[in-house]
Structure 1
Amino acid sequence: MKEHLSLYVFIGVIFVTGVVFGAILVNALTLDQTQELRRHLGSFFQVVDQGTSWDQAHSFWQSFSMNVKWVLLIWLLGLSVVGLPLIFILDFLKGVLVGFTVGYLAGQYAWKGVLFSLVSVAPQNLIHIPVIVICSVAGMSFSLYLIKNRFIQKRGNLYAPFMNYLILSFSMVLVTGAVSLYEAFLSPELMRWVTPMLVTAGG
């Protein structure tokens, strides 16, 4: 952590910039786009409020697949020098998604939207975002190692750094599994607690 503190700060700034951009992007929506999104969200809130049963196994695998794709893509990009800028783009896009989601809910439903964000968006992202940041820093570190020790100095053993990178990334995959379990089994229950207020607000 201390060794790569500057990289963590750099990735953190990129992510926060994405969050701010995503929140600002909400204001760029046209009236038709805003109404369409509100209509889809209203339908979703009604489904949740009616207590429709969830296919929890399907939800888990869908969430796990999505979360793992972020980790694997960053891992693959970290293996190549040319993939280094794309890691920055992925971190920025993740920030945009979070910022847009929370910004839209807060803008359309005020404090009720913020409350819904706290139970449906915030908990898993409190873990998933650090996972993305850690994977990004590891990918950057390995990519910079390649540049320094293979292309500039043309020396150094890749085996140990590669294995460390592989083990860390695999550990993050396991963490994303825990995040997906929350999204599939706990998050729907919390959403059922909040959605009655949103259905009323939507109506």
Structure 2
Amino acid sequence: MLKKKSWSSDIQSHIEQQKSLYIFITVLFMVGVAFGAIIVNTLDPTQKEGLLKYLGHFFQGINSDFIADPLVAFQHSIGDHLKTIGLLWILGISVIGIPILLLFVFLKGLMIGFTVGFLVSELSWKGLWFAFVAVVPQNLLVIPVLIIVVVSGIQFSTTLVRNRLLNHRGVIYPQFVTFSILVSCMAVILLMASLFEAYISPELMKHAIPTIKL
């Protein structure tokens, strides 16, 4: 019981201390989403036609079950997620990684905004429904994980600057261990997101596609 209270108080303390950073990173992500949606309107007809053709092949593949075996899809998904979170961990323990962490959050938002924006622009409410079942569910896990890791990485990097570059000598090892454990816990959540993406998302998409006509 004491352990639970300790963890709860630690989490609450972390959120309170880094509230402004969490708000900044979340706003940065939302700005990326907005820019991604705006970029859709800058595409010329040829580019849109090419993307629609690719989307049509993707829909046919799902309807015909010509998609990757769930196990293979899971392996690819968890592999990509682990590479991403591993890169964020490396950037978090290096001072020069802070601007790249910020850029990563913006680009992630940009990609999601572009994907959803394109589907809605070309397929109207049916595109919105498809985005809701294909893009949103796993990202409800992935995005919070990435934001938490990025905030914690920036926090660790700034602590590293204070302790090393500004000659405020202190013990950095406990913070390093805490950050590494946090990243490991977030990797477990990404594992669940990959399972959903590989085994459940294709079925949801399969039920959504019959309502769409390209």
2:37–2:117 Cα contact (<8 Å) kept: yes
Residue of structure 1 aligned with 2:21, choices 1, 4, 7: 7
Q: Is the counterpart of residue 168 in structure 1 residue 182 in structure 2?
A: yes
1:16–1:95 Cα contact (<8 Å) kept: yes
Listed one character per residue, the Cα deviations across residues 42-85 of structure 1 (whole Å, up to 9, x for unaligned) are: 11111212234641111001111122222111111111111110
Distance 1:175 1:53 in 2: 24
- The code of the aligned residue for 2:166 comes to I
Structural RMSD (CA): 1.0
- The code of the aligned residue for 1:158 comes to I
Residue of structure 2 aligned with 1:132, choices 127, 146, 164: 146
Give 1:149 deviation, angstroms: 1.7
Higher relative contact order (CA 8 A, sep 6+): 1
Residue of structure 2 aligned with 1:148, choices 140, 145, 162: 162
TM-score, normalization: structure 2?
A: 0.91
Aligned partner of residue 74 in structure 2, secondary structure: helix
Aligned partner of residue 110 in structure 1, secondary structure: helix
Residue of structure 2 aligned with 1:41, choices 33, 48, 55: 55
What is the count of residue pairs matched by the alignment? 200
Within 5 A, what are the aligned runs for 1:13-162? 13-52=27-66, 54-162=68-176
Give 1:127 deviation, angstroms: 0.7
- The code of the aligned residue for 1:11 comes to I
- The code of the aligned residue for 2:175 comes to P
Aligned partner of residue 51 in structure 1, secondary structure: coil
Distance 2:48 2:197 in 1: 26
Which runs of 4 or more aligned residues in structure 1 lie more than 4 Å from their structure 2 counterparts after TM superposition?
none
Distance 2:93 2:124 in 1: 43
Partner of 2:210: 196
Unaligned residue ranges in structure 2 (runs of 5+): 1-14
- The code of the aligned residue for 1:119 comes to V
Distance 2:183 2:65 in 1: 37
Give 1:195 deviation, angstroms: 0.7
- The code of the aligned residue for 2:23 comes to V
1:70–1:132 Cα contact (<8 Å) kept: no
Distance 1:51 1:69 in 2: 28
